[in-house]
Amino acid sequence: MKRTRTPSANPSLHTPRTVGYLRVSTIDQDLEKNKSDILHLANERRLVPVEWVEEKVSGTKDWRKRKLGEVMTTLQTGDTIIVSELSRLGRSTLQILEVMQEAKKKGIAVHAIKNGWSLNGTMESKIVLQVLAMVSEIERDLISARTKEGLKARKEAGVKLGRPKGPGKSKLDIHREDIIEDLQRGVTKTRIAKRYGTTPENLQNWIQKHQIKKGFTP
C-alpha cells in the first residue's frame, strides 16, 4: 500500500523568494532596462523565479509606507531583494541604512546591480554596512547643524520663532455661526461635537479661545 506523505509545517522548508523591486520617481526612468538587469543577476545566481514589485513614488517617502515596506513584512530568512541600485531603496543614507538593517535582522539578502554590491553575510557586505552607518551618522549631524544654523539666522533677522500666540485655525472655524446658533437653541456640547466631528473637550477649548459667551445650555 502506497503511503501519502503529509506536508510538513516546518518553517525550515520555506521556499526562498526573490523580489525584484523597481521604484521610479519620474517617467523618464527605464523600468524595462532595470528589470532586464535584475533578471540577468537572478539567473546568474540561480535566484529565479523573480516576483516583481513596481511603484512610482518619491524616495523621500518613508519606505515603511511604500510597497517596499509591505514586502519587507512578508519576507523571511533566506529570501532575497534585488534592486538596480541602492538609491532605489531610499533617497537618503538614513533610509537606505534602515532598510538594510531590517533586512539583516530578518536574514534577507539584498543585491544592488550597480557597483555589484550585496548584503549576504560576507565580510565585504558587513564593511559596507558599517560605512553606511558612519555616513548616516554624519548625515544626521549635518541635518541637525543646518537646522540650528537656520533657526539662529532667522532669530537674528528678527523672525519670531515658535507657534504664534492666539487661537490657531480649527476645522470648527467655518461652522462658527452654526455652533453659536446650536448653543443658543440649547443643543448640548456632546451633540454639537459629534455633529462637527470633534470631542466635547475640543469644542469647549474652541469656545473658550474664541470667547463665545452667548447663552447656551452645557
Residues known to be catalytic: 25
CB-based contact 83:29 (threshold 8 Å)? no
| Residues in a beta bridge with 83 | 112
User: Which set of grid coordinates corresponds to residue 37?
Assistant: 538587469
Residues pairing with 109 in the sheet: 80
SS3 165: coil
Any idea which residue has 503511503 for its cell?
A: 3
Q: Are 49 and 58 in contact (CB under 8 A)?
A: no
DSSP class of residue 27 equals T
